[in-house]
Structure formats: C-alpha cells, structure tokens
Amino acid sequence: MSEEKTHVVSIKTHLLVLFTLIVLTAITVLITSIELGPYNTAAAMIIASAKALVVLLYFMHLRFDEPIYRIMFGLVIAIFAAVIVVTFFDYLYR
Amino acid sequence: METTLSPSVDLHRDDTASKIGMWLFIFTEILLFGGLFLVYSVYRYRNPVAFHLAHQELSVTMGFINTVILLISSATVAIAITAIQKHNKKLTMMMLGATLLLALAFMVNKYFEWGAKFDHGLYPGSELMAGLGHGDMLFFSLYFFMTGLHGVHIIIGMTLLTITLVKVKKGSVNPGKYALLENSGLYWHLVDLIWIFLFPLFYLIH
C-alpha cells in the first residue's frame, strides 16, 4: 500500500460539498417554478450537470485520483454525447 | 519444495485494478441509463404538451425530499471512506449505518409515491394506463420504468453497503484494505448521480 499517495478528503470538505449540492437542488426547484420559456429545461439540465460534476469530482474522488479515471470517464461521456447528437440529427432532419 | 510462507501471503491483491473494474462497470450503467434518457428526450421532444401535463401528477415536494435524502446519503458514504482512512472504525460504521437508514427512507417515500398512483389505478398494464393518450402513456411508462430501475439499483446498493458494514465490523475491511468500501461507495454515488438527472426530468418539467 502506498499510504502517502492516498488523498484523504476532510469531513469538512464533504459537508461543504453536501451543502453546495442541496443549495443547487433548491435553485433548480425555484428556477423551474418561474417562467423562462425554453430556458427552463436548459437551466435545469445545466444545474443537474454541475451537481453531477461536483459528485464525481469530490464524492467519487475523481479530482484526487490518478488521471486514468478522468480520461476513461471523459471518453465515455464523449461517446454518449456523440450518440445524443447523432440521434437528434436523425430526428430533427429526417 | 518446502515453503515457510502461508498461502495468504501470496494472495494477489490489486486495489487500483479493482477500482478500475468498478469504474468500467459504472460506465456500462451510465450508458444503460443514458440510453433511457435518450429515449425520454426524443419522446418528450415529440410530445411536449402531454409530458408537461402528465408531470403535474408527480409531487415536487416528494421528489425534492428524496433528492436531499440521496445527497445526504452520498455524503455519509464519502465520510465513511474518510473515517476508515483516519482509522476511525466506529465513525465508519456509524456513517454506513446512516447511509442504509437514508436509503430505507428513500424507498419508503418511493413506496408511498408509487402506492398513491397504484391506488388511483395508475400502474403499468392497468386499464387507466391503456386508456391514456399516447404522450401521457409514454411519460408514465418511462416514469415507472426509469424510477423502478433506479429503485432496483438502490436495493443492490443497500445490499452492497450492508455486506461492507458487516466486513468493517469483522475487520476484514480495515484501514489497510478498504477497496470494497471504496467500490460500494462508488456504486452508491452512481445511484445518486442518476437521481440527480431523474429528478429535474420527471418532476420539474416546465
């Protein structure tokens, strides 16, 4: 075991991250209760992605682990994004 | 031929490999739910009005409470890992126990949420569902399928966390060897991650 390589995230950090996530959730609920037209869904999705990123980086330790995990994750998201783009091109311009 | 080493010393162990394995599995889960989100997006794009009207059947308060429950449970798992790294077995067990209780609370909420719909005759295969318009039927089918599949993941996560808790208690998961805790933690965060997208997509359509 390479003890020195293990990054210990403090409990305080975790609590701060949790607080951020709950605030972001409250913002999503508030933002979708006001009329913003097509921007409502966009705002909800952007905030959801921000929350997901926070969970991945801090709770799932991606920020502190070796780069290989971030690279693998990036590739999977890129594949998924490509599938979304191709599907919607099909539906929009069929 | 005689060896003085006990067999356990030779046991191969590679925590990094096991964690990469867990991530690979998580990727398959992301693509599984990703596919479902894609189906949802296309149907919502084609039936915007029906999706908007149908979503009003869902309680935002209930969804919000469940979101907060899952976020807290993710934090408790993360703290459990910090605790074991700091050689604090008691806190690790407490945090895992708290996570399990929160997971149970989530499922109880889900039970009441689904139960209320079942009471109104709204469940997959019911006459009411069959009589719904095309868009509404798609919305509720996706709602039951996606939150249901997510619920199955909660149950699997709870099982994994229970096994981990027992092993922490017995000492086979300890500050020098906690890959199982890390991997069940990753799985639990995945469950949280999926819910982060399910909540706005089903409860907060504007």
In A34-66, where does DSSP find H-type helix? 39-54
Q: Which two tokens stand for residue A22?
A: 């709950």
Domain total for chain A?
A: 2
Q: Which of A35-44, B35-44, B57-66 has the lowest mean pLDDT?
A: A35-44
B206 touches A: beta carbon within 8 Å = yes
pLDDT of residue A85: 95
A42 touches B: beta carbon within 8 Å = no
pLDDT of residue B6: 54
Q: Is residue A2 part of a domain?
A: no
Q: Same domain, yes or no, for A52 and A70?
A: no
Q: Same domain, yes or no, for A12 and A56?
A: yes
Q: Is residue A28 part of a domain?
A: yes
Let me know if B141 is exposed, middle or buried by CB neighbors in 10 A (0-12, 13-18, 19+): middle
pLDDT classification of B7: cutoffs 50, 70, 90: low
Give Cα separations from B87 to A4, A61, B84, B131 (angstroms). 15, 19, 5, 59
Q: Is residue B198 part of a domain?
A: yes
Q: Is residue B131 part of a domain?
A: yes
Q: Same domain, yes or no, for A44 and A77?
A: no
Q: Is residue A45 part of a domain?
A: yes
Q: Identify any residues that bridge with A37 across adjacent strands, giving them in sequence order.
A: none
Q: Same domain, yes or no, for A24 and A39?
A: yes
Contacts of residue A69 in chain B, CB cutoff 8 Å? 19-20, 23
pLDDT of residue A1: 42
Q: Which domain does A43 fall in, by range?
A: 8-63
Q: Which domain does B85 fall in, by range?
A: 19-203
CATH code, domain with B37: 1.20.120.80
Q: Same domain, yes or no, for A88 and A48?
A: no
Q: Is residue A3 part of a domain?
A: no
pLDDT at residue B10 tops 60: no
Q: Same domain, yes or no, for A34 and A55?
A: yes
By C-alpha distance, the chain B residue nearest A73 is B27
Q: Same domain, yes or no, for A21 and A56?
A: yes
Q: Is residue A74 part of a domain?
A: yes
B90 touches A: beta carbon within 8 Å = no
What number is the average pLDDT over the span B146-161?
Answer: 98
Q: Same domain, yes or no, for A23 and A54?
A: yes
pLDDT at residue B23 tops 90: yes
Q: Same domain, yes or no, for A27 and A69?
A: no
Q: What is the pTM of this model?
A: 0.91
C-alpha span between B167 and B93 (Å, rounded)? 10
Domain total for chain B?
A: 1
* Percent over 70 (pLDDT), chain B: 95
Q: Is residue A1 part of a domain?
A: no
By C-alpha distance, the chain A residue nearest B44 is A41
Q: Do A52 and B193 touch (CB under 8 A)?
A: yes
Q: Is residue B49 part of a domain?
A: yes
A20 touches B: beta carbon within 8 Å = no
pLDDT classification of B34: cutoffs 50, 70, 90: very high
Q: Same domain, yes or no, for A16 and A55?
A: yes
What number is the average pLDDT over the span B192-205?
Answer: 95
What number is the average pLDDT over the span B36-54?
Answer: 94
User: What ipTM was reported for this prediction?
Assistant: 0.91
C-alpha span between B17 and B119 (Å, rounded)? 48
Q: Is residue B2 part of a domain?
A: no
Q: Is residue A15 part of a domain?
A: yes
Per-residue pLDDT tens over the stretch A51-84: 999 999 999 999 999 999 999 999 999 999 999 9
pLDDT of residue B176: 92
Q: Same domain, yes or no, for A18 and A53?
A: yes
Q: Is residue B14 part of a domain?
A: no
Q: Chain A: nearest CA to B126, how far in angstroms?
A: 30
Q: Same domain, yes or no, for A21 and A49?
A: yes
Mean pLDDT across chain B:
93
Per-residue pLDDT tens over the stretch A16-58: 999 999 999 999 999 988 888 778 889 999 999 999 999 999 9
Q: What is the DSSP letter of A5?
A: G
Per-residue pLDDT tens over the stretch B90-140: 999 999 999 999 999 999 999 999 999 999 999 998 989 888 999 999 999
